[in-house]
Amino acid sequence: MSEPVATSTRVRSLSYGLVRRLADFIDPQEGGKKLAMDITNPSGESRYRQEHIRRFEAFVQMGKSPTCELLYDWGTTNCTVADLVDLLIRNQFLAPASLLLPEAVRMPQEVTLPLSSQETLPIHEKQLPVQEKEVASVKPALAQTTEKQHSGPSYVSQENSSLQSSNTDFHNFLFHDLESITNNFDARPESAGGNKLGEGGFGIVFKGYINGRSVAVKKLVAMVDVSVQDLKQQFEQEINMMAKCQHENLVELLGFSSDGAQPCLVYEYMSNGSLLDRLACL
């Protein structure tokens, strides 16, 4: 069993699974580059120059995580979790910071706000700082068949059944509906006529359309050295995290699917490349 994470824990001592979960939040938004540019040596000089950053970015072409490689390298300096959390918070990566030290991130009160009867209510009525943002009900008219119960593997454990309660109020999608709107999870890049937008440590992000509205579907996929239990934990944690951690720099989670072959998370789609600058299945 891995050691509990504390402020004094060395970054180089973090488990592979935990580092991959951090990367899953950071990689899709190319956050590794942002973090690398903010890391300094004890002298106050930037640790990483542009050629270093380009080297980290090149790991994507090798099927590796730039964030993981950055943390492995930075970890050789004996930096601690406290240093990493400070770096994450400073750059508005609140969800991964909370994953390491929940008490270090100021979370908003969990309050469910009633929606008006207008089903076309925009997802973002107002943008508030994280200290003031309340957890609003998210029930847009995205799909008409999600209330039906289907048999199949569930990635929501009994102890976390509250994921489907009104505490989160996220939409519960059917897996086969998500297959349909993403052309059976077409893995070709969008530029080549497919639906794939990008990928991170735990999942692949696809573009889809629901009732004429663009969404981003993150399909969680078990990687090498990542167990099914780790995948389930990541799924549950990301939903709970997004329910609590509402912030203008976090893309909106609309719902999830847990009845199919792989668990999926459905996010608001942001055009002009800004989706992958913000997304943490994220």
DSSP characters over the chain: -PPPP-TT-BGGGS-HHHHHHHHHHHGGGTHHHHHHHH-B-TTSSBS--HHHHHHHHHGGGGT--HHHHHHHHHHTTT-BHHHHHHHHHHTT-HHHHHHH-GGGS-PPP--PBPPPS-TT--S-S----TTT---B----S--SSTTS---S---S-GGGGGGGSTTT--EE--HHHHHHHTTTT--SBGGGTS-EEEE-SSEEEEEEEETTEEEEEEEE---TT--HHHHHHHHHHHHHHHHH---TTSPPEEEEE-SSSS-EEEEE--TTTTHHHH----
Mean pLDDT of 226-246: 73
- Span 91-101, pLDDT tens digits: 888 888 988 99
- Span 99-151, pLDDT tens digits: 899 888 764 433 333 333 223 223 333 333 333 333 333 333 333 333 333 33
**What confidence score (pLDDT) does residue 72 get?**
94
Mean pLDDT of 224-242: 73
- Span 177-196, pLDDT tens digits: 999 999 999 988 888 888 88
- Please give the torsion angle defined by the CA atoms of residues 190, 258, 242 and 140, in that order, rounded to the nearest 10 degrees: 80
40 Rama class: left (phi>0) / alpha (psi -120 to 50) / beta: beta
**What confidence score (pLDDT) does residue 133 get?**
34
**Rounded Cα distance, 148 and 65, in Å:** 38
27 pLDDT above the threshold of 60: yes
How much of the chain exceeds pLDDT 70, in percent? 66
Which range (28-32, 34-38, 50-54) has the least confidence?
28-32
Q: How far is CA 144 from CA 139, 173, 215, 256, in A?
A: 11, 9, 16, 15
157 pLDDT above the threshold of 50: no
258 pLDDT above the threshold of 90: no
**Rounded Cα distance, 197 and 189, in Å:** 6
- Span 264-276, pLDDT tens digits: 989 888 765 445 5
How much of the chain exceeds pLDDT 90, in percent? 23
- Specify whether the CB–CB gap between 250 and 278 falls below 8 A: yes
**What confidence score (pLDDT) does residue 22 get?**
92
**What confidence score (pLDDT) does residue 232 get?**
77
238 pLDDT above the threshold of 90: no
Beta bridge partners of 65: none
Mean pLDDT of the chain: 73
Domains in the chain, please, with CATH? 11-104 (1.10.533.10), 108-282 (3.30.200.20)
**What confidence score (pLDDT) does residue 4 get?**
82
**What confidence score (pLDDT) does residue 8 get?**
93
**What confidence score (pLDDT) does residue 250 get?**
60
82 pLDDT above the threshold of 90: yes
152 pLDDT above the threshold of 80: no
34 pLDDT above the threshold of 50: yes
**What confidence score (pLDDT) does residue 225 get?**
59
How many other C-beta atoms can be found within 10 angstroms of the C-beta atom of residue 185? 19
Residue 219 labeled ligand binder: yes
Q: Comparing 203 with 66, which gets the higher pLDDT?
A: 66
210 pLDDT above the threshold of 80: yes
Mean pLDDT of 163-189: 79
**What confidence score (pLDDT) does residue 42 get?**
85
